[in-house]
């Protein structure tokens, strides 16, 4: 029996798309190719609302799985043996696969795209299940089985596998326009960025720092976080903007309980200018309602007022423990808990305003003469590019090696 391996990828939300579904599928395929760059494969192909990745080296499954997990839009990917669709062959391959595993229960999950096959999905489940049971003497368990033997019949071929990796679902990055994400090296903003990547938004980042009054640690930590996040979008850019001069001006001229709000307004104004220059329609922030004193609804209103475009706050309704769980899953948590002096926490007054009055905030700000400090901050910003960590590890430099 000749056995070839491939990876079968299912998407979820794209399947709900109407007329422009093929545009989403093409982007997903492109993102998969970029993500697998450097690993062996010959083609990534759409077939009956599934994506197949052929010409792979099955001994490197873990590497493929680690990478595919990061492609937004994927529901799951399974390492499959591709054989002719003949029930005896299917049974034999499934039995060989199970022979190599230790398990105490199993199930068979068959799906038929190829409706001409003489058995229904249910009949395949039963036939293969009975066959496997007669060999392994292990019980079938429909819920929470140790091993799920997946069988798919697609266009005259059969695919059998049990190793599966789950993606995060959502939409492929670059199918939902762009946003500027305001990123600190805290726990929240990397997660809010991730949540937007998951909705297909391509992100450019902006980080504000207060060097030399603070150490360069926040810049270093943000760089590490962005290397992780670049894993989900292959490549990203960040504007590192010096905020110290503006902060010092605010501290010299405004009552200290308004400092944090005025710092935030300055950040939002600068981020809006960058977004305008790049023709990007929205900003992203990691605020979560009530999480800290500065994130009350009144304060959010008083800061959002400085924006000239929508600020999306994907974590607005998240609990801290949920945010931490996501940060752990996506790989930013360990970096975010490294110590750093944040540009705001460094100058936080003892009694910050928790219920800002918008008029008072506006008037206070109007009375401060910032001169050309905003222009200077942007002129002094450094722009850095971060690449997918596996590209960096393998010294790949060109993103142009993947054909559409
Ligand atoms: P985070 O964990 O993201 O730092 P936080 O709970 O510390 O959030 P704040 O410090 O109030 O909350 O910041 C609220 C949001 O403002 C952040 O989630 C981020 O989007 C943005 N922000 C804060 N500090 C910076 C910074 N230094 N550079 C860019 N954006 C920032
Ligand atoms: Mg913070």
Note whether 378 and 310 are same-domain residues: yes
Domain boundary among 166, 188, 218: 166
Do 283 and 196 share a domain, yes or no?
yes
Same domain, residue pair 249 and 293? yes
Whether the CB of 286 sits within 6 Å of ligand 1: yes
User: Does residue 403 lie within any of the structural domains?
Assistant: no
Using a 6 Å cutoff on CB, does residue 343 contact ligand 1? yes
Q: What is the mean pLDDT of residues 295-300?
A: 93
- Whether ligand 1 lies within 6 angstroms of the CB of 195 is answered as no
Range of the domain at 162: 4-166
- Binding site membership of 300 for ligand 1 (Cβ less than 6 Å): no
Q: Which of 145, 166, 187 is where one domain is finished?
A: 166
Residue 217 lies in a domain: yes
> What tokens does 287 get?
């605020």
Are both 54 and 121 inside the same structural domain?
yes
Looking at the structure, tell me whether residues 282 and 185 fall in a common domain. yes
Which CATH number characterizes residue 19's domain? 3.30.2130.30
Answer whether residue 352 shows pLDDT above 50: yes
Q: Which residues pair with 235 in a beta bridge?
A: 387
Assign residue 391 the CATH number of its domain: 3.40.50.620
**What number of H helices and E strands is found in the chain?**
14, 13
Ligand nearest to the CA of 263: 1
Answer whether residue 394 is part of any domain: yes
pLDDT-derived band at 343, boundaries 50, 70, 90: low
Same domain, 106 and 194: no
**Which atom of ligand 1 is least distant from the CA of 315?**
18
> For 389-404, b where at least 16 C-beta lie within 10 A, e where not — what string?
bbbeeeeeeeeeebee
- For the Cβ of 189 lying below 6 angstroms from any atom of ligand 1, the answer is yes
**pLDDT tens digits for range 162-213:** 999 999 999 999 999 999 999 999 999 999 999 999 999 999 999 999 988 8
C-alpha 342 to ligand 2 mean position (Å): 7
Q: Which residues of 273-294 are buried (b: 16+ CB within 10 A; e: fewer)?
A: bbbeeeebebbbbbbbeebbeb
User: How do residues 53-90 score in pLDDT, each as one tens digit?
Assistant: 999 999 999 999 999 999 999 999 999 999 999 999 99
Say if ligand 1 is within 6 A of residue 299 CB.
Answer: no
User: 95 with 161, same domain?
Assistant: yes
Residue to substitute in 179, 180, 181, 182 for testing ligand 1 pocket (most ligand atoms within 8 angstroms of CB): 182
**Closest ligand 1 atom to Cα of 185:** 4
265 in the same domain as 382: yes
What are residue 266's phi and psi, to 5 degrees? -65, -45
> From atom 6 of ligand 1, which residue's Cα is the shortest distance away?
188
**pLDDT > 90? residue 404:** no
Do residues 126 and 204 both lie within one domain?
A: no
- 127 occurs within a structural domain: yes
Is residue 51 within 8 A of residue 75, CB to CB? The reply is: no
d(CA 263, CA 241) in angstroms, rounded, equals 13
Q: Are residues 158 and 191 in the same domain?
A: no
Whether residue 152 has its Cβ less than 6 Å from ligand 1: no
Same domain, 109 and 58: yes
In the reported structure, the alpha carbon of residue 285 is separated from the centroid of ligand 1 by a whole-number distance in angstroms of: 7
pLDDT, one tens digit per residue, over 166-178 is 999 999 999 999 9
Average pLDDT, the chain: 93
pLDDT for 389 beyond 70: yes
Buried b (16+ CB within 10 A) or exposed e, 212-225: eebeebbbebbbbb
- Could you report the per-residue pLDDT of 130-141, keeping only the tens digit for each? 999 999 888 999
Q: What are phi and psi of 109, to 5 degrees?
A: -125, 100
Report if residue 173 sits inside a domain: no
Residue 345: band (very low, low, confident or very high) from pLDDT cuts 50, 70, 90: low
* Structural tokens at position 175: 């199918």
Q: Based on the structure, what is the number of domains in the chain?
A: 2
How far, in Å, from the CA of 183 to the mean position of ligand 1? 6
The predicted structure's pLDDT at residue 378: 98
Q: Is residue 242 part of a domain?
A: yes
- Alpha helix segments (H runs only) across 85-162: 87-99, 121-136
In this structure, are 230 and 190 located in the same domain?
Answer: yes
Q: How would DSSP label each residue in 181-209?
A: EE--SSSHHHHHHHHHHHBT-EEEEEEEE
Q: Tell me if 172 is assigned to some domain.
A: no
């Amino acid at each position: 029996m000749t056995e070839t391996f491939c990876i079968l990828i299912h998407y979820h939300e794209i399947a709900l798309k109407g007329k422009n579904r093929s545009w989403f599928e093409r982007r997903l395929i492109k993102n998969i190719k970029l993500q697998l760059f450097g690993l062996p494969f010959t083609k990534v192909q759409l077939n009956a609302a599934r994506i197949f990745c052929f010409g792979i080296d099955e001994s490197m499954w873990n590497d493929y799985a680690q990478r595919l997990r990061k492609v937004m839009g994927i529901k799951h990917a399974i390492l499959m043996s591709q054989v002719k669709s003949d029930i005896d062959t299917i049974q034999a391959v499934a039995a060989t696969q199970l022979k190599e595993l230790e398990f105490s229960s199993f199930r068979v999950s068959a799906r038929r795209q190829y409706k001409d096959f003489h058995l229904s999905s249910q009949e395949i489940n039963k036939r293969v299940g009975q066959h496997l049971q007669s060999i392994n003497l292990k019980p079938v368990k429909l819920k929470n089985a140790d091993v799920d033997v997946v069988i798919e019949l697609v266009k005259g071929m059969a695919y059998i596998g049990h190793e599966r990796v789950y993606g995060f679902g959502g939409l492929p990055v670059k199918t939902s326009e762009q946003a500027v994400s305001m990123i600190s090296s805290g726990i929240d903003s990397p997660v809010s960025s991730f949540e937007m990547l998951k909705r297909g938004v391509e992100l450019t980042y902006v980080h504000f720092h207060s060097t030399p009054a603070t150490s360069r640690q926040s810049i270093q930590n943000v760089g590490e976080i962005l290397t992780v996040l670049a894993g989900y979008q292959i490549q990203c850019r960040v504007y590192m903007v010096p905020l110290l001069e503006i902060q010092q001006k605010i501290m010299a001229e405004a009552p200290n309980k308004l400092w944090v709000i005025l710092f935030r307004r300055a950040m939002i104004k600068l981020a809006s200018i960058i977004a305008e220059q790049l023709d990007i329609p929205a900003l992203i922030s990691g605020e979560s309602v009530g999480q800290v004193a500065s994130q009350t609804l009144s304060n959010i209103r008083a800061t959002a007022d400085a924006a000239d475009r929508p600020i999306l706050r994907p974590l607005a309704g998240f609990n801290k423990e949920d945010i931490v769980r996501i940060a752990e899953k996506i790989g930013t948590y360990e970096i975010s808990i490294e110590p750093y002096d944040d540009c705001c926490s460094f100058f936080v007054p003892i009694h910050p305003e928790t219920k800002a009055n918008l008029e008072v905030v506006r008037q206070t700000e109007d009375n401060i003469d910032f001169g050309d400090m905003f222009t200077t901050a942007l002129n002094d910003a450094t722009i850095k590019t971060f690449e997918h960590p596996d590209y960096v590890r393998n010294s790949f430099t060109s993103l142009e090696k993947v054909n559409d």
